[in-house]
Structure 1
Amino acid sequence: MSKSDPPPSYEESREQQHGNYPFPPYGYPAQPGVYTGPGQPGIHPQAGLWQGPGYYPSAMPSMMPSFITPGIFSCNLRDAGGISATGVWDSMSVRHAFIRKVYLILAIQLFITSSIIAVFTFVEPVRLFVVQNPAIYWASFPVYLVTYLMLVCCEGPRRRHPWNLILLFIFTLTLSYMTGTISSYFDTKAVFLALGITAIVCIIVTIFCFQTKVDFTSCTGLLCALCVVLLVIGIITSIVLSFQYVPWLHMLYGACGAIVFTLFLAYHTQLLIGNRENTISPEEYVFGALSLYVDIVQIFIFLLHITGSSSDYRCCGALLFQ
């Protein structure tokens, strides 16, 4: 190039290549320790540490690939081989392990509850003892209430192992005893029928929640309003039944309660899935199991009021609320 020739433009200088390294434009100041092309002073950099215009002075590119950029993970993103991005698989694996842990704990809780209900239903001396001594039921109520509030309201005991499992085990035993006490007032056939219907309802709701696009987690306000309505109906029902037994009112209350807690079961199930508007942390496996367990037990109790007839409603009184 002669001195009269004008220097090449920046775009033209960018097109000059030597191997895989672009040259800087003429007149660009050479930097110490930077390879600037043949005939230019400089030192060859180490492999993988190319430095030059438009590049960060490290191995990190100026823009990270979109599939590993924090905050934009999506289950629909896949790499060239058709496999989801690493972050997506990590998230899915953690969520799946969380769901398995919750349902394993729930299965143990339901087994304990079913065993206690069977003892209170089939062993006649135990059944008579529970019916004749309702004070034991009310003595277990404070334990139920304290453990429930600790697990729901206190994050420390709920997440600290093994105290969270110990509290959950105490809560399960207490609620199982209370549920067995209520079942002892009903016929054996009614108890079995309520158990069967509860199992069918829980299976259908679980499958539906994993398949449907309906988001129950966005209906928190509606569920709270239904709880208030159920509470008012329960108070009226308890007052009326304390004076005179009205079968249709008793069944109406049981049906309303079963519907409300079925919706709660769908709500808490979708909280576990993690792909809805609201979700719970994978660390909250105790809270997840507790929520599902309480919903299932409540559905069973309300169905029990529909399928069976109590031998003495004045004795059980406020057991309608449990």
Structure 2
Amino acid sequence: MSTSQKDDVEAGSDLLYPLMQESPNLRWAFIRKVYSILTLQLLATIGFAAMVANVRPVADFFGATWFGMIIYFVSIILVSTTVLCMLSVYRDKHPLNFILLGIFTLTFGFAFGVLAAFTSGRIIIETSIATTVVVVCLTVYTFWAAKRGQDFFFLVPFVLSIVVILIIFTVFQIFFPMGRMFDVLCSGLSVILFCAYIIFHTAMLIERDSYDDYIWASITLYLDVLNVFLNLLSIFGRRN
């Protein structure tokens, strides 16, 4: 099929929303850019995490000593927060925005590398497979529903309700520890929460008015995927 025929097929049959007025080619280009960046982020995270996990002295220092753990948590919070603030200012400055995005991604790659060093490889693989299936299914469903005019704003009160419930559960768990099953319940609610976030953020990606915020769009989905992975890892880890 020629390029012009392919564009005609996209323009004619792949409208993302029934009321869309513009040519869908621009929207598809934006979406492809976002998912390309997201894919590179996830691959970089996996690669850097594997490298950190295999350097045992580094993993042992940051994961098995109090001093290292303090540096670990403080540095991750400070670096990720600082980079996000800088990205909010320099999101349109090339190539600085991609450099900052790379630093942000490698920061989480380092965090996951230390985590993976103290987690069973089988559990990591199980969690990775489950996360991939969940994310792919939710993404396909969202695009399928979007083409039929589905509005996902109904998820907002649902998401807010789960956030409030999780905050209450966390407070109770701090002051009145309720055991492993309670932790699994909180992790399960968190998985549901971030699954809803993936659907909502994907729908917002499709409906987005600006084509310049691909950095923020990719970061949002990236954090949703990482949170699904972390909470599934918590469930699988406690199960074993």
Shorter chain as denominator, the TM-score bin is: 0.7 to 0.9
Normalised by the length of structure 2, the TM-score is 0.79
Normalised by the length of structure 1, the TM-score is 0.60
Letter in 2 for 1:201: V
Q: How does 1:160-179 map to 2 (within 5 A)?
A: 160-179=93-112
Residue 291 (structure 1) aligns with: 220
Question: Taking every aligned residue pair, what percent have the same amino acid on both sides?
Answer: 28
Once the two structures are TM-superposed, the CA of residue 177 in structure 1 deviates from its matched residue by 1.7
Residue 134 (structure 1) aligns with: 69
Contact 2:124 2:233 in 1 (8 A): yes
Secondary structure at 1:259 match in 2: helix
Residue 155 (structure 2) aligns with: 219
Distance between the aligned counterparts of 1:216 and 1:256, measured in 2? 19
1:133-170 alpha-carbon deviations (Å, 9 max, x no partner): 2133122221112223444xx3x422222222122111
Count of residues in Structure 1 that have an aligned counterpart in Structure 2: 218
Secondary structure at 2:163 match in 1: helix
Residue 195 (structure 1) aligns with: 128
Residue 105 (structure 1) aligns with: 37
Distance between the aligned counterparts of 1:231 and 1:116, measured in 2? 32
Secondary structure at 1:159 match in 2: coil
Which runs of 5 or more structure 2 residues have no equivalent in the other structure? 1-10
Equivalent of 1:144 in 63, 75, 80: 80
Contact 1:121 1:183 in 2 (8 A): yes
Residue 198 (structure 2) aligns with: 265
Distance between the aligned counterparts of 1:230 and 1:281, measured in 2? 33
Letter in 2 for 1:98: F
Distance between the aligned counterparts of 2:158 and 2:46, measured in 1? 31
The answer to whether the aligner puts 1:253 opposite 2:186 as a matched pair is: yes
Distance between the aligned counterparts of 1:169 and 1:109, measured in 2? 8
- RMSD of Structure 2 on Structure 1 (CA): 2.8
Contact 1:217 1:271 in 2 (8 A): no
Equivalent of 1:236 in 172, 177, 181: 172
Distance between the aligned counterparts of 1:208 and 1:310, measured in 2? 29
Once the two structures are TM-superposed, the CA of residue 262 in structure 1 deviates from its matched residue by 0.6
Once the two structures are TM-superposed, the CA of residue 303 in structure 1 deviates from its matched residue by 0.4
Which runs of 5 or more structure 1 residues have no equivalent in the other structure? 1-76, 312-322
Contact 2:143 2:203 in 1 (8 A): yes
Letter in 2 for 1:118: A
Contact 2:127 2:233 in 1 (8 A): yes
Per the alignment, do residues 110 and 252 of structure 1 end up closer, same or farther by CA in structure 2, a change over 3 Å counting? same
Per the alignment, do residues 179 and 230 of structure 1 end up closer, same or farther by CA in structure 2, a change over 3 Å counting? farther
Distance between the aligned counterparts of 1:184 and 1:216, measured in 2? 38
Per the alignment, do residues 120 and 303 of structure 1 end up closer, same or farther by CA in structure 2, a change over 3 Å counting? farther
Once the two structures are TM-superposed, the CA of residue 301 in structure 1 deviates from its matched residue by 0.3
Higher relative contact order (CA 8 A, sep 6+): 2
Per the alignment, do residues 159 and 252 of structure 1 end up closer, same or farther by CA in structure 2, a change over 3 Å counting? same
Per the alignment, do residues 186 and 98 of structure 1 end up closer, same or farther by CA in structure 2, a change over 3 Å counting? same
Contact 1:195 1:300 in 2 (8 A): yes
Once the two structures are TM-superposed, the CA of residue 299 in structure 1 deviates from its matched residue by 0.4
Secondary structure at 2:101 match in 1: helix
Per the alignment, do residues 143 and 216 of structure 1 end up closer, same or farther by CA in structure 2, a change over 3 Å counting? same
Residue 14 (structure 1) aligns with: none
Once the two structures are TM-superposed, the CA of residue 124 in structure 1 deviates from its matched residue by 4.2
Q: How does 1:86-105 map to 2 (within 5 A)?
A: 91-105=23-37
Distance between the aligned counterparts of 2:198 and 2:209, measured in 1? 15
1:104-128 alpha-carbon deviations (Å, 9 max, x no partner): 1001100011113323445544432
